[in-house]
């Protein structure tokens, strides 16, 4: 058994460097030498400095530009706070940091990979095991940065960054309920988001309020996988709030975005233009003639003109007019 000392460690490090013709990395020396260096010097790099050897740059170290809050980073942070993970693992050769995501939606995995690589400027891996797709990116520096990032900074960021963060979260742990859509008052229509972290729930609820989207907050003991954790759920009800979410945030996952569109189109709604036209025409004709002129039922026009009822009126822009065609199945635009 080798009896290590600082002198002997320095001597062995210089010997390894001479044999390799370069300053050795953790993976290039015996684990006993690495362990002794950590014990006697505090860490690997301090031992190398004592031996007068070069400190090699950390693999996949983040550039300074990647440390600034951007749309890409905000999306990555949202996903990691949801289904994703930033974790460390240790072995005889040191510490490994990994940012990862494992999901069944291939387009979600591909999207996360794109954002991850744009943010970090490094390549990540996408692999399939069974029915799940896994994205992995190894970097101690990036993992440490993401794990230690103060998410409250999102509240001080510009709106575009906030939107990307919310989209990352809802791609991970959000969804759309749309049942009995052709049965009027029996229809079930809402957007939901679940998480057990109070800070995440606070951030989501605050940002939705900033976006002008109303919601309800519920809590329950989550029974999935035998968990007894208190789970919080944010629910977005009503045509106007669902439409605001669609316009401002949306989903990158085709399955969820298409369901969101299906739910919106299942409502009987009218445009701001129709409402204004009804008001103008009513100056020169009866409400029944107005209804016939604009192709809206008399009951609806009556409520517009005499009850100032505007619940199902949306201010549609030209690019949203296709929503009025109930038979049109619009494909979502991927990668917002």
pLDDT tens per residue across span 27-75: 678 888 888 898 899 887 888 899 998 876 666 788 889 999 999 999 9
pLDDT of residue 322: 79
Does 199 lie in the same domain as 184?
yes
CA–CA separation, 47 and 8 (whole Å): 11
Alpha helices in the chain (DSSP H): 6-20, 31-41, 44-50, 71-80, 106-120, 140-148, 159-173, 198-210, 239-248, 254-265, 272-281, 287-294, 298-306
pTM of the model: 0.76
Percent of the residues in the chain that have a pLDDT greater than 70, as a whole number: 90
Whether 257 is in a domain gets the answer yes
327 lies in some domain: no
Mean pLDDT over 226-237 rounds to 83
Residues 176 and 259 in one domain: yes
Q: What are phi and psi of 178, to 5 degrees?
A: -145, 95
Range of the domain at 32: 6-50
pLDDT at 161: 97
Per DSSP, the three-state class of 270 is strand
Residues 230 and 256 in one domain: yes
What pLDDT digit, counting tens, does each position of 264-307 carry? 999 888 888 889 999 999 999 999 999 999 888 898 899 888 88
The per-type count for the chain, helices as H runs and strands as E runs, is 13, 10
Share above pLDDT 90 across residues of the chain, in percent, rounded to a whole number? 56
Tell me the CATH number at 255.
Answer: 3.10.28.10
Task: Output 155 or 336, whichever has higher pLDDT.
Answer: 155
Report the range of poorest mean pLDDT among 53-62, 77-86, 110-119, 306-315: 53-62
Residue 305 lies in a domain: yes
Residues 192 and 275 in one domain: no
Q: How many separate domains does the chain show?
A: 4
Residue 140 confidence (pLDDT): 87
Residues 6+ apart with CB under 8 A from 65: none
- Position 331 scores a pLDDT of 44
Same domain, yes or no: 87 and 177:
no
Average pLDDT over the chain, rounded to an integer:
88
Conformational region of residue 85, where left means phi above 0, alpha means psi within -120 to 50, and beta covers everything else: beta
């Amino acid at each position: 058994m080798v009896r290590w000392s600082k002198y002997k460690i320095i001597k062995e490090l210089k010997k390894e460097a001479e044999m390799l013709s370069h300053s050795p990395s953790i993976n290039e020396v015996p684990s006993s030498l690495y362990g002794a260096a950590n014990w006697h010097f505090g860490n690997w790099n301090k031992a190398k400095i004592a031996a007068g050897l070069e400190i090699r740059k950390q693999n996949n170290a983040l550039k300074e530009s990647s440390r600034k809050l951007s749309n890409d980073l905000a999306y990555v942070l949202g996903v990691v706070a949801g289904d994703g993970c930033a974790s460390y693992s240790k072995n005889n050769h040191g510490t490994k940091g990994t940012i990862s995501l494992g999901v069944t939606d291939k387009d979600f995995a591909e999207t996360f990979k794109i954002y991850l690589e744009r943010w970090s400027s490094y390549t990540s891996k996408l692999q399939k095991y069974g029915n799940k797709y896994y994205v992995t990116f190894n970097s101690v520096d990036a993992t440490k940065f993401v794990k230690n990032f103060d998410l409250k900074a999102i509240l001080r960021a510009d709106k575009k960054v906030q939107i990307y963060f919310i989209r990352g979260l809802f791609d991970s742990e959000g969804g759309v309920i749309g049942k009995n859509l052709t049965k009027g008052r029996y229809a079930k229509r809402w957007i939901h988001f679940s998480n057990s972290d109070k800070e995440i729930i606070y951030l989501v609820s605050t940002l939705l309020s900033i976006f002008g989207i109303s919601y309800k907050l519920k809590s329950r003991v989550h029974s999935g996988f035998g968990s007894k954790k208190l789970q919080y759920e944010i629910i977005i009800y009503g045509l106007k709030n669902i439409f605001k979410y669609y316009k401002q945030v949306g989903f990158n996952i085709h399955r969820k975005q298409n369901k969101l569109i299906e739910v919106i189109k299942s409502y009987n709604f009218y445009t701001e233009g129709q409402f204004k036209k009804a008001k103008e025409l009513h100056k020169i004709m009866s409400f029944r003639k107005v209804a016939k002129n604009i192709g809206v039922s008399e009951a609806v026009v009556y409520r517009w003109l005499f009850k100032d009822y505007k619940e199902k009126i949306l201010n549609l822009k030209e690019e949203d007019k296709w929503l009025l065609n109930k038979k049109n199945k619009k494909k979502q635009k991927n990668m917002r």
